[in-house]
Amino acid sequence: MPGPLDGLFVLDLSRILAGPTCTQLLGDLGAEVIKIEAPGKGDDTRGWGPPYVMGEDGQPTDLSAYYMCANRNKKSVTVDLASAEGQETIRKLAARADVVIENFKPGGLAKYGLDHATLCAAHPGLVYCSISGFGQTGPNRDKPGYDLMAQGYGGIMSLTGEADRPPMKVGVGIADVMCGMYATVGILAALRHRDRTGEGQHIDLALVDTQMAWLINQGTNYLTSGNVPSRIGNAHVNIVPYDVFATSDGHVIVAVGNDAQFARFCDFLGQPGWADDPDFATNTARLNNRARLEPMIADAMRQHAMDAVIAGLEARKVPVGPVNDVAQALGSDQAQARGMTVSMPVPGSADGAVTLLGNPLNFSATPVTYRRPPPSVGADTDEVLSSLDP
């Protein structure tokens, strides 16, 4: 069954994670994605391993796990952008494209005549998305941008980790991933405009800008109060109790969202009086008295086993859950029921297939499809280039 973006042609000049996250999502939704890679090594992430998919000969292939996380449903075409022939190839592909996405340094494609100004002038209906560290304007325009640097510059690292420990990055490249999500939304909005008016446009997107945008309540807390937020570990800046607590045999998450839930939580702990105490009865009071209340909760929680806490709070409809490792999360019955891992055949690999993370979108009429496994570098060069006009 065709996906919602069936018939859309995407020319992907991006590499590493933000752009490829976007184009994989567009591909999952049915778009045809042509991924341009440098001859030889291809996308930088092909070398970011181990782990790698192993070939039938027992040797690692060019499919690193990192590369595979963002590059299914694409065709790989190798093109030397520094050559006149390569530049002409890209121009021919751009003439077919609905969308071009790139993450070169600002101005980096202008010397090849492949920048947004040139291609959009030649193809007025083209949606051209540029991703960079700091954007196409501003004093930091020419600085390189990587996920870790964006997390540091954009503020999220200052909020992540324990209060008495150094700043900490998020455990995955979340600035890249979220930038890719914003890119997807922007491209779809620009296509909607194009379909109504025939007018394409340039989308200028920065890792740092998007990271600042998803500071969410912490950023708005600062803008409202003038108080600079700081690290508080797993606790919530606006809700108490909302944290990870040690039990007698493990850890659980408790996320009390309102005062009625707090009363039921106190009932489980055998401390109903806490819910009636004016210092703790409301969320505002609990925030003001966090330093007293949280140690009391921690002491009480350590008296119970993890499974008993989860069962007891679930029975009382208090939000509670485990702290799973990756194997537990992806192996859970919930993950399996929701299709959050998928197997795709890879001819020539030792196992004959690879297992990837699933797409979380569930459409009632135009489902996500998994049509093409992550390609080896240049696997589709002959097929794609032979279809171009001479």
176 is catalytic: yes
Catalytic residue among 12, 62, 98, 176: 176
Q: In what order do the strands lie in the sheet with 320-322?
A: 242-246, 251-255, 320-322
Helix (H, G, I), strand (E, B) or coil at 57: coil
What do you get for the CA distance between the two ends of the chain, in Å? Answer: 33
Residue 35, strand partner residues: 12, 76
- Peptide bond preceding 50: is omega within 30 degrees of 0, i.e. cis? yes
Q: What is the DSSP string of 21-54?
A: HHHHHHHHTT-EEEEEE-TTT-SGGGGS-S-EEE
d(CA 355, CA 353): 7
Q: What are phi and psi of 145, to 5 degrees?
A: -130, 120
**What is residue 111's DSSP assignment?**
G
3-state secondary structure 84-97: HHHHHHHHHHHHHC
CB distance 245 to 251 below 8 Å: yes
Helix (H, G, I), strand (E, B) or coil at 317: coil
d(CA 217, CA 256): 17
Residues serving a catalytic function are: 176
